[in-house]
Amino acid sequence: MRPTRLLVTMTALCLALSGGAARRGPAAEGPAGVVAVEPPGWFAGDAHVHRGIGCSRADAKEMLTPAELLEAMQPNRLNVVAVLADMGNGEIRYAEKDLPLISGRDDAASRLGRLLHWDAEWHFDPRGVTFERKAIGGHLILLGLEHGETLFREYTYPVFEWAKRQNAVPGFAELPVEVALGSAAFVMEDVRGSDTAIHAYYRLLNCGFRPGLVASTDYPCNFLEPLGTLLTYVQIPDRQLTYRKWIEGIAQGRTVVSRNGHNEFLDLRVNGTASPGDELRLEGQGTVRVELGWSSVKPLKGRVELVRNGAVVATREGSASPGSPLKLETTLDFAESGWLAARRMSQRGHETHTGAVFVTVGGAPVRSSVADADFFARWIDNLIRQTSPGGAWSEFLSKDRDAALDRYRQARAVYERIAAEARSAKRGGP
Ligand SMILES: [Zn+2]
């Protein structure tokens, strides 16, 4: 993977974590007549939807109404949809109608177990879109805002700052930069998804970061496939759904993502109770027990895999059908801190993927790959080179260059420190 590819294919989301005005929503309730694939307390949603005119709705005359969006939640039985105003360069029209709807509250059309919520996307794409102003970094998805406006910056950090002033904890675009510096809360795959986002997610986990994992459609830029074709299940421990708890679950890594709608689920448990987003703490080297169940609303054949620190450590082929999940059970020895996740694979890559469960040994951070920390340090080297005077992306930074480069250098120092720690861990300690 060339470093530049990460820049244009990744989306990370900005999450508001505290003090928001989200009102307590209705309790969730599954639709009648459909077998739930997810256990109680998990809620399916699409965190990246537009109702405006653009992409595959470029010829549309009207923006979708809340009632139409609610109807569009039905095919994939979604509990949550984040409808995003375009704060950026106008790929989706008409921002002036969407931005005033951002209030921190669910839309009044929301119903029991069906939450419609207004938030924003910041999108000044350096490549691929023919608009005047462009910025390094591409997409930010801003969830949990209290108001929206159009603002332009040449790099993303000032937008994170703007969101923080609304009690938000922002994230993305120079993704490895803003994950390393604590701004990006999660990694998102969108449109049709691919393993590219997953590989970046693995590398970040191997460096000791814990971003959430999200999949969403970016409707209507997804060739008009239904809302939730890419979806995110979020676990809410008290099982009472609100938008705020749903996005906090994303930030805490309590997710399972799907690329084929609301049809299958992976139930990953470590030592009986730990699930995605949880951390198991071992005093010293020890063994953990892993149980994985793949459930499906219809009979399916396939392969499930258990991934540890980015490598497959157990696999099982078989079939899943309603009431009869395919199970994989194993035990694994942990001599040093690491992480576990599960995925259901098909020929195109992952169909479903869980967020990571963390296993900490002796309180040490995950330092499982020198190569991955080096990869990001070199990736940022390239970002610095390309955005410096004479670089291919130099044109994107005129006013903000010094501040942006300062941010990149800070992040590079973080990855270099992690790489050094991983090297000494490999040698058996400093
Ligand atoms: Zn979008």
Amino acid 363 reads G
Looking at 262, 295, 314, the residue that finishes a domain is: 262
The model's pLDDT over 190-218, given as tens digits with 9 standing for 90+, comes to 888 888 889 999 999 999 999 999 999 99
The length of the chain is 430
324 Cβ contact list (under 8 Å, min separation 6)? none
Q: Which of 361, 380, 406 represents a domain boundary (last residue)?
A: 361
- In terms of pLDDT, which residue wins out, 409 or 197? 409
Distance 348 CA to ligand 1 centre (A): 23
Domain stops at, among 361, 394, 418: 361
**Do 236 and 294 lie in a common domain?**
no
What pLDDT, on the 0 to 100 scale, is given for residue 171?
43
Q: In this structure, are 280 and 415 located in the same domain?
A: no
Q: Are residues 345 and 386 in the same domain?
A: no
Q: Report d(CA 415, CA 380) in Å as an integer.
A: 9
Predicted pLDDT at 132:
65
Of 264-273, 304-313, 383-392, the one with minimum mean pLDDT is: 383-392
The answer to whether 77 and 44 are in contact (CB under 8 A) is yes
Distance 399 CA to ligand 1 centre (A): 26
- Please count the structural domains in the chain: 3
Rounded to the nearest angstrom, the distance between the alpha carbon of 194 and the centre of ligand 1 is 17
Q: Are 145 and 119 in contact (CB under 8 A)?
A: yes
Structure confidence at residue 362 as a pLDDT band (50, 70, 90): very high
CA distances from 225 to 50, 75, 220, 231 (A): 13, 11, 8, 12
Domain CATH number, residue 297: 2.60.40.10
- Spatial separation of the C-alpha atoms in residues 279 and 360, rounded to whole Å: 7
How far is the first Cα of the chain from the last one, in angstroms, to the nearest whole number?
Answer: 32
- Residue 55 Cα to ligand 1 midpoint, Å, equals 10
**Distance of CA 389 from the midpoint of ligand 1 (Å):** 30
Specify whether 200 is located in the same domain as 317. no
pLDDT in the model for residue 183: 85
Instruction: Give the pLDDT of residue 176.
Output: 87
Cα 381 to ligand 1 centre (Å): 28
Residues 98 and 242 in one domain: yes
Q: What angle do CA 213, 216, 221 make, to 5 degrees?
A: 140
| Same domain, yes or no: 168 and 213 | yes
Q: What is the pLDDT of residue 2?
A: 29
**How many angstroms does the Cα of residue 117 sit away from the middle of ligand 1?**
15
Residue 417 CA to ligand 1 center (angstroms) comes to 34
CA of 231 to the centre of ligand 1 (A): 14
Compute, in angstroms, the gap from residue 121 CA to the centroid of ligand 1: 6
Judge if 408 and 380 occupy the same domain.
yes
Residue 398 is part of which domain span? 370-427
Ligand 1 centroid from CA 10, angstroms? 12
Which of 128-132, 185-189, 368-372 tops mean pLDDT?
368-372
Cα–Cα dist 407/427, whole Å: 31
**Which distant-in-sequence residues (6+ apart) come within 8 Å of 163 by Cβ?**
14, 16, 142, 145, 169, 170
Strands 338-346 and 357-361, sheet pairing: antiparallel
pLDDT digits (tens, 9 = 90+) for 250-270: 999 999 999 999 999 999 999
Beta bridge partners of residue 123, listed in sequence order: 139
Asked if residue 6 has pLDDT above 50, the reply is: no
Would you say residue 192 lies in a domain?
A: yes
